[in-house]
Structure 1
Amino acid sequence: MPKRIQPLADLQVKAAKPRAKDYKLADGGGLYLLVAASGGKLWRCDYRCNGKRKTMALGAYPAVSLSDARQRREEVKKLLAKGIDPGEEKKVQKAAQAEATANTFEAVAREWHERFKGEWSENHAGRLLRRLELDVFPYIGARPIGEVKAPELLAVLRRVEARTLETAHRLKIACGQVFRYAVATGRAERDPAADLKGALPPVKNKHYSSLTDPKAVAPLLRALDSYQGSFITKCALRLAPLVLIRPGELRHAEWAEFDLDAAEWNIPVERLKLKKKEKIDRKGEKHLVPLSRQAVEILRELHTLTGSRRYVFAGHRSPLRPMSENTVNSALRLMGFSKDEITGHGFRAMARTILDEVLHVRPDYIEHQLAHAVRDPLGRAYNRTTHLSERKKMMQLWADYLNELKSGAKVIPMRREG
């Protein structure tokens, strides 16, 4: 007759102290508390399956109480009664849980982001991940990606839509790319984002705000010259209208890219906002920006301050980094220009419109200087020195025209002559 085991008491379990060697406190039915010499208290359950004696870990005390351990012992018995090995069943469940954790929307999205971030700019990659972390992961991040349905994703996007419709559309595109990646890697059957076509209101295309009437440009130029803030910011504001480049390309300008004696700025094509294929095709090239006398003068003034540093427009907080992407727009706002009047990007639109409609410069010269894809009659992309002489004249003509506006010279009417 088997020896009768006195069940453990809560106080007995709590009071158990470590000894020189591990020892057991039995509760009956195969359940016991293993008190380790190191001080740990571990629940174990011995059982027999297919003629073999086995032991199953049930957790550690006090996280697993005595009553919890007894309940788990009963679950072991139920599995044995069905002919299932509890230890093997636990391994299967653990593997399934690990697979589910690896296949959540957040896990797959982070894997997708890590795999493709090298193809994006650093700013875009960081901004995209932050959007996912703030607006998507808290709601469907823990869900197995193969189980996320279109209505769930739409609910996420509508929360964002209430704040900004454009961001909601961008997140829809990003989520669709994550789902398609999951399909390609065998973790989802289809892309539910594809079912949301037309579910969000369309975004009305908005051009960057800009001043294109010469009468409105004149006071803007005078305001830039009288800016009372940082000298570095003032130089960026004064140079922006003269060079026809994007704000990001301006603020990341490095002194090594300039030849002030030759009045040239050579921007690495990797920094330009181009399509991926065009960047690959033009890898190693530089976009040549002819500098007017006025632009060179501004840069020489600034060189006395930041010429020993890497960045032309060094940041206020750290000279090892370029100025913030919000600096120029913030300065424009401080001077009283609203975002509906002018933005840092709007200087390009201003130049394009006036050069074309007022100064009657050939459109291909303008487009080439804007770093847009311009091709010859045979479909070949023009190289960096194409029409260089004409573009130099154009850039000087533009700078001189802005000077005339600023000084109050007669404004040429905004019309194209036949």
Structure 2
Amino acid sequence: MPLTDAKVRNAKPSAKPVKLSDSAGMYLMVTPAGGKCWRLKYRFNGKEKTLALGMYPEVTLGDAREKRDAARKLLANDIDPGEQKKNRRAAASLASANTFESIALEWHEKFKHEWTEEHATRLLNRLKANAFPWIGARPITEIEAPDILSIMNRAEKRSLEVAHRVKTCCGQIFRYAIATGRAKRNPIPDLQGALPRVKNKHYAAPTDPKTVGPMLRAFEDYDGSAIVKAALLLAPLLFVRPGELRAAEWSEIDLDAAEWNIPAERMKMRVVHLVPLSSQTIEILKGLQPLTGRGRYVFTSHRSPLRCMSENAVNAALRRMGFERDEITGHGFRATARTILDEILGFRPDIIEHQLAHKVKDPNGRAYNRTAHIETRRKMMQTWADYLDELKAAGT
């Protein structure tokens, strides 16, 4: 007799598994522990097989019979329902392993050694904020251009530049997925023209000596953190990139040799960079040693001595002193130095560019190494520091 809901509900376990037959090969297996499992016995290519149909009560008697009938239809079409179930599970597992987020994290892990730590962190945070919440869990093969456009539009509400960067990052991930056999096409080219262009912006920077002097005097009068003040004083003297400055480590600095050797992994161009230190720079660093010299970082975070200063510390200090974004930014000191060193102090542009850690080649097409023209650069950095002192003293 076929089973009834009451028989299934009231079935009791015993010392050994008990089979309660329904019809057409389906039965309920009651385990000694009290579990109730639906099973279907069938034959395929002369072999007897068993198909699991689910657990009671999650799968009711009616649900189990529907699954049984669906399996028998497959058998009628010479399809093994057990194998089909395995294939579906394998496909689901593959899709789960090939989600956009999983491939993006794999791509990030593979290539992060080619980026600075700051850039790698920024990329990952950008994905976490702008992509993963909406498309991260989806198989990458199912993601089309409108899906990417959707997350770009969300990002555009905060920043058009971020939206473009999200698009670029997604394109790199899709290309990696194609190369590794997890995707067949990259939808990013379909989005050409979907966003307005970003107008190129130059970092705000004073290039008139008359405005540089008052700025330097304001730095001397800064009444905030001594560590931030030191960073403010050193930023125009060294004119390195803000990320290079705030992550400076004491192990990289040789005060006796008056040199700061920045390793390649922290440089934008992935090439070691040597910064000659003026006497003024050394004096500031020596003053900072009692505060941070026992730790790793020259400019430690106010939250933890194990971390370097935050990305926004210098710019926040500038704003606190009343300097607007269109007047000066942490990155703008590089433009200040580049302009004045060339136009007023008369140093060769290629020497300046090399000290800025830009790609520079000699007349024979060879890239300069980190020690190229080092004596000229030592002289330039000291001349620059002395000139800044002159500007600072001019209004006192």
Same fold (TM over 0.5): yes
Q: Distance in 2 between matches of 1:232 and 1:47?
A: 76
Task: Determine if contact 1:8/1:26 at 8 Å carries over to the other structure.
Answer: no
Identity %: 63
The CA deviation at 1:244 is: 1.7
Structure 1 segment 180-199 matched on structure 2, within 5 A: 180-199=175-194
Name the residue aligned to 2:286: 300
SS class of match (1:377):
coil
Cα RMSD (Å) = 2.3
Structure 1 segment 35-184 matched on structure 2, within 5 A: 35-184=30-179
SS class of match (2:328):
coil
Aligned match of 2:203 in 197, 203, 208?
208
Inter-CA distance 109–261: structure 2 relative to 1 (3 Å threshold): closer
1:363 matched to 2:358: no
Inter-CA distance 197–299: structure 2 relative to 1 (3 Å threshold): same
Q: What are the superposed Cα offsets for residues 351-375 of structure 1, whole Å, 9 maximum, x if unpaired?
A: 1112222222222221121112222
1:402 matched to 2:388: yes
Task: Determine if contact 1:154/1:196 at 8 Å carries over to the other structure.
Answer: yes
SS class of match (1:28):
coil
More divergent stretch after superposition (114-123 vs 330-339): 114-123
More divergent stretch after superposition (209-218 vs 101-110): 101-110
Inter-CA distance 111–290: structure 2 relative to 1 (3 Å threshold): closer
Name the residue aligned to 1:339: 325
1:392 matched to 2:378: yes
1:8 matched to 2:4: yes
Task: Determine if contact 2:18/2:29 at 8 Å carries over to the other structure.
Answer: yes
Q: What are the superposed Cα offsets for residues 26-81 of structure 1, whole Å, 9 maximum, x if unpaired?
A: 33332222222234322212223344332110112233233222221221222223
Q: What are the superposed Cα offsets for residues 367-393 of structure 1, whole Å, 9 maximum, x if unpaired?
A: 121112222211222233333232222
Task: Determine if contact 1:145/1:188 at 8 Å carries over to the other structure.
Answer: yes
SS class of match (1:338):
coil
Inter-CA distance 270–99: structure 2 relative to 1 (3 Å threshold): closer
Q: What are the superposed Cα offsets for residues 131-171 of structure 1, whole Å, 9 maximum, x if unpaired?
A: 22332234334444334333333233222223211112112
The CA deviation at 1:206 is: 0.7
Q: Distance in 1 between matches of 2:378 and 2:115?
A: 32
Q: Distance in 2 between matches of 1:392 and 1:105?
A: 49
Inter-CA distance 224–17: structure 2 relative to 1 (3 Å threshold): farther
Task: Determine if contact 2:115/2:268 at 8 Å carries over to the other structure.
Answer: no
Amino acid at match of 1:386: A
Inter-CA distance 269–142: structure 2 relative to 1 (3 Å threshold): closer
Q: Extract structure 1 runs of 4+ deviating beyond 6 A.
A: none
1:33 matched to 2:28: yes
Q: Distance in 2 between matches of 1:304 and 1:235?
A: 13
Q: Distance in 1 between matches of 2:60 and 2:113?
A: 50
SS class of match (1:45):
strand
Structure 1 segment 251-290 matched on structure 2, within 5 A: 251-274=246-269, 279=270, 282=271, 286-290=272-276
Task: Determine if contact 2:204/2:329 at 8 Å carries over to the other structure.
Answer: yes
| Structure 2 residues without counterparts, runs of 5 or longer | none
Task: Determine if contact 2:51/2:82 at 8 Å carries over to the other structure.
Answer: yes
Amino acid at match of 1:67: G
Name the residue aligned to 1:323: 309
| Structure 1 residues without counterparts, runs of 5 or longer | 411-418
Inter-CA distance 114–76: structure 2 relative to 1 (3 Å threshold): same
Q: Distance in 2 between matches of 1:26 and 1:133?
A: 52
1:248 matched to 2:234: no
Q: Distance in 1 between matches of 2:208 and 2:117?
A: 36
The CA deviation at 1:110 is: 3.0
Inter-CA distance 192–403: structure 2 relative to 1 (3 Å threshold): same
Q: What are the superposed Cα offsets for residues 70-111 of structure 1, whole Å, 9 maximum, x if unpaired?
A: 221221222223332221222222233333333443343333
Q: Distance in 2 between matches of 1:132 and 1:384?
A: 34
Name the residue aligned to 1:416: none
Q: Distance in 1 between matches of 2:37 and 2:123?
A: 45
Task: Determine if contact 1:48/1:54 at 8 Å carries over to the other structure.
Answer: yes
Q: Distance in 2 between matches of 1:264 and 1:115?
A: 33
Inter-CA distance 158–358: structure 2 relative to 1 (3 Å threshold): same
1:24 matched to 2:19: yes
TM-score normalised by L of structure 1: 0.87
Amino acid at match of 1:354: I
Inter-CA distance 116–265: structure 2 relative to 1 (3 Å threshold): closer
Q: What are the superposed Cα offsets for residues 326-350 of structure 1, whole Å, 9 maximum, x if unpaired?
A: 2111111221222222111111111
Q: Distance in 1 between matches of 2:46 and 2:13?
A: 33
Aligned match of 1:229 in 224, 230, 234?
224
Q: Distance in 2 between matches of 1:116 and 1:351?
A: 33
Task: Determine if contact 2:113/2:265 at 8 Å carries over to the other structure.
Answer: no
SS class of match (1:58):
strand
